[in-house]
Amino acid sequence: MISRLSDEALIDILSYLSLKEAVMTSVLSRRWRYLWRYTYRRWDFDVSNNTSLFLMSCNGNPRHVVRSKYVQWVSTVLQLHLGSHLDELRIRFDMDNVIRNSPGLVWWLVFACLKRVQRLEVDLSNRLGINTLREDKALFPSPAGLSLYRCCKLNLPPSPFPCPILDFSSLISLSLNYVNVYADTLAHLLSNCPLLRHLSVKSSDTMYSSNKNLPPFKSTSLESLEIVQSNFMQKEMEICAPNLVSFAFVGRNIAISFKNAVSSSLTELTVGMDYGVSFLLDPFKQHSIFLSQIEKLKMVFNDTARCFLGKTVPSKFPNMNNLKYLEVRWEASGSSSFLFPLTLVKAAPSLCTLKIEEPI
């Protein structure tokens, strides 16, 4: 019965399978051999739990050799895709310092542009918890850099016309973890991706602007913005996102200004580290315009903040009449002060859930 279906119908069915399952159907018959290469829903390269990639050696090969082969394999598989578009591309893999001397990430991003990927996740974090030097992390290039790479490295035929600028205009969601990225590159993406609703950057060490002044983070479609554990070197950041619902900033203390009636839509807030301490000690300074709207508040603190907040407790906090969920998470063990959570509780008459999390 299934053999009577058209190729288009079979491709639709295969697109609901995982990439591995879809590839396995290529042995069914000659007709099925290449159908998987047209699937369009999700290509997932998640080997974060593959222990062979974490071992110092595997089958006699050093770890960097095993990882380099994996990078090449991912690039090869992506080149086999024959469809006009791909909805989601997910790559999760601890590359260590392999990526620094490999064009892997750049080629993957070029592929994402050419295939009009809507949801892109690149997670290169170290699963063993070993610190990675900032120069060992991959760098997310600018759109102009991607276009130059495409023209110079991908064996394209010579053309008298300028190399076309690649863009991520189809992106709906972008998540980067352990990938260095310039802050002005993010600002450019937000301004030139009209469909982008979710942007997440974690553990980036180059969160500074290559220009003197950082352009505002401006987007009419952005609903969620997350910058966590990143070395954001700018002293201030301006956010112009009237439809922003969720905002997270965990890092050094900077001045963040919200424009264009962000307060009317923002209901979820996550703050932490030095910025979180500033939020507690001077809530009237940057956050009073939207605190009354917040329904869900999460706070993350390290050992330095723990010691500081144990001695200094804000006596008064702006009213948070809509706050229903409050979570405080300590990332280091030690003596805690529960006075500042109580201060927040007093300012939140509608609070339903209070969660305080300590490390084991």
Asked which of 54-63, 95-104, 244-253, 286-295 is least confident by mean pLDDT, the reply is 54-63
Give the pLDDT of residue 151: 58
Residue 54 has pLDDT above 60, yes or no: no
For the packed helices 303-311 and 273-281, what is the interaxial angle rounded to 10 degrees? 20
pTM, two decimals, is 0.86
Instruction: List pLDDT tens digits, range 139-158.
Output: 888 766 666 655 555 544 44
What does pLDDT average to over the chain?
Answer: 80
Which of 5-14, 69-78, 119-128, 305-314 comes out lowest in average pLDDT?
305-314
User: What digits encode the pLDDT tens for the residues 197-215?
Assistant: 999 999 888 677 666 677 8
pLDDT at 258: 82
Instruction: Quote the percentage of the chain above a pLDDT of 70.
Output: 72
Task: Dump the DSSP string for 277-320.
Answer: HHHHH-HHHHSTTTGGG-SEEEEEE-HHHHHHHHH---S-----
The whole-angstrom separation of Cα 17 and Cα 43 is 10
Q: Can you tell me the mean pLDDT for 179-185?
A: 87
